[in-house]
């Protein structure tokens, strides 16, 4: 019997795409989400849904036992870097404290594997070269630190209790499901491609470019963008590796090359056929000038090959999703 997979934050952006991938692969899925930023509509009917807090130990124990959960994928948490700088305690609660409760519940329920949604923010500034998993972890924000602390907990628990673990350090996740089933829907989102597509669709009158004086070719930040569908495939590959051989994995998730903010905006203008109205603004606290992934480890150790490694394709799917949201909102207004 195939055990159920518990997906925390499965009504959110990345989690909902992973749920789709797991269901397509034949896994029973249970989603736990408090819907503070996620959407109930993003959870497919084929998945069981529980509304609740990932830090609720009693609820976690009930879910893990009732659904015979064998593996957990943990996406729930807070993700806005500048907010973490002004409200660090929120991030140490949401991303570290509640993760501790989840990990303890997993140990008590004899869960076999744990896949953790981490971040490239654990690396900090870097030196401009592609960053490998062996690079020093020197987070520049409480967000990065809160995620790194959870990585440390998993490392220590794996040694003490034999928990199989996979930590995936995401670079910049973007795009939407090519079939239009899910996408980035968080109100007030800060992801660059999401914001640019909202602007292209008229949902924002303009957008800001935070910092144009970085030590990069055009003065704007450079990031490694990975399509959310490829990231979901990476989670499936990790799950299968844990099931087949067990152990502890740590992987960067990106494409190994980056684009500047201005290059991304040019791509959005190219794909949408609209000129974006932009404003220059001060640098945001916690932002780094350039960070690009060394992805040789995940390519070497897992049967994972990206299918959507193209900036225009990423933008195209993100824009299609944004237009779908616009159409849905207009329909609601008409019906009202």
Is the confidence at residue 334, as pLDDT, over 70?
Answer: no
Active site includes 143?
yes
Q: What is the location of CATH 3.40.50.720 in the chain?
A: 4-175+225-253
Q: What is the CATH number of domain 192-222+256-335?
A: 3.90.25.10
Q: What is the CATH number of domain 4-175+225-253?
A: 3.40.50.720
Specify whether the CB–CB gap between 192 and 172 falls below 8 A. Answer: yes
pLDDT in tens, 60-69: 999 999 999 9
Mean pLDDT of 200-221: 95
Q: What is the mean pLDDT of the chain?
A: 94
pLDDT at 1: 41
**Phi and psi angles of residue 224, each rounded to the nearest 5 degrees, phi first:** -95, 110
pLDDT in tens, 249-303: 999 999 999 999 999 999 999 999 999 999 999 998 878 889 999 999 999 999 8
Which of residues 330 and 226 earns the better pLDDT score? Answer: 226
Q: What percent of the chain has pLDDT over 90?
A: 89
pLDDT at 189: 83
* Adjacent-strand bridge partners of 207: 278
pTM metric for this prediction: 0.94
Q: DSSP letters of 122-165? A: GGTT--SSPBPTTS----SSHHHHHHHHHHHHHHHHHHHH--EE
Mean pLDDT of 105-134: 92
**Set 143, 170, 255, 259: catalytic member:** 143
pLDDT at 25: 96
pLDDT at 329: 77
Is the confidence at residue 133, as pLDDT, over 60?
Answer: yes
pLDDT at 286: 75
Q: DSSP letters of 93-132? A: IIIIIHHHHHHHHHHHTT--EEEEEEEGGGGTT--SSPBP
Strands (E), the chain: 4-8, 29-33, 48-51, 69-74, 113-119, 164-170, 172-174, 207-210, 222-223, 225-227, 248-253, 259-260, 278-281, 290-291
Mean pLDDT of 42-50: 97
Q: What is the location of CATH 3.90.25.10 in the chain?
A: 192-222+256-335
pLDDT in tens, 146-199: 999 999 999 999 999 999 999 999 999 999 999 999 999 987 888 999 999 999
Mean pLDDT of 108-119: 98
* Adjacent-strand bridge partners of 116: 74, 167
């Amino acid at each position: 019997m195939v055990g159920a997979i518990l997906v925390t934050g499965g009504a959110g952006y990345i989690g909902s795409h992973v749920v789709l991938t797991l269901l397509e692969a034949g896994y029973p899925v249970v989603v736990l989400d408090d819907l503070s930023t996620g959407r109930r509509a993003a959870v497919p009917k084929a998945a069981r849904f529980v509304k609740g807090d990932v830090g609720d130990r009693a609820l976690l124990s009930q879910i893990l036992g009732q659904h015979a959960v064998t593996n957990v994928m943990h996406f729930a948490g807070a993700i806005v870097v500048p907010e973490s700088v002004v409200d660090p305690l929120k991030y140490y609660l949401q991303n570290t404290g509640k993760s501790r409760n989840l990990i303890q519940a997993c140990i008590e329920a004899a869960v076999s594997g744990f896949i953790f949604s981490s971040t490239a923010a654990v690396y900090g500034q870097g030196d401009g070269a592609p960053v490998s998993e062996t690079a020093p972890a020197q987070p520049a924000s409480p967000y990065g630190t809160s995620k790194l602390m959870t990585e440390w907990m998993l490392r220590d628990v794996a040694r003490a209790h034999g928990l199989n673990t996979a930590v995936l350090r995401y670079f910049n996740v973007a795009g939407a499901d090519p079939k239009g089933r899910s996408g980035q829907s968080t109100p007030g989102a800060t992801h660059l491609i999401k914001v640019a597509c909202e602007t292209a669709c008229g949902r924002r009158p303009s957008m800001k470019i935070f910092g144009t004086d970085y030590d990069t070719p055009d003065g704007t930040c450079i990031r490694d963008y990975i399509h959310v569908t490829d990231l979901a495939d990476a989670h499936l590959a990790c799950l299968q590796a844990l099931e087949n051989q067990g152990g502890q994995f740590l992987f960067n998730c990106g494409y190994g090359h980056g684009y500047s903010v201005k290059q991304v905006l040019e791509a959005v203008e190219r794909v949408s056929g609209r000129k974006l109205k932009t404003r220059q603004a001060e640098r945001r606290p916690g932002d780094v000038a350039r960070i690009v992934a060394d992805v040789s480890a995940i390519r070497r150790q897992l049967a994972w090959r990206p299918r959507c490694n193209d900036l225009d394709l990423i933008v195209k799917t993100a824009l299609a999703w944004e237009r779908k949201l616009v159409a849905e909102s207009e329909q609601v207004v008409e019906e009202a």
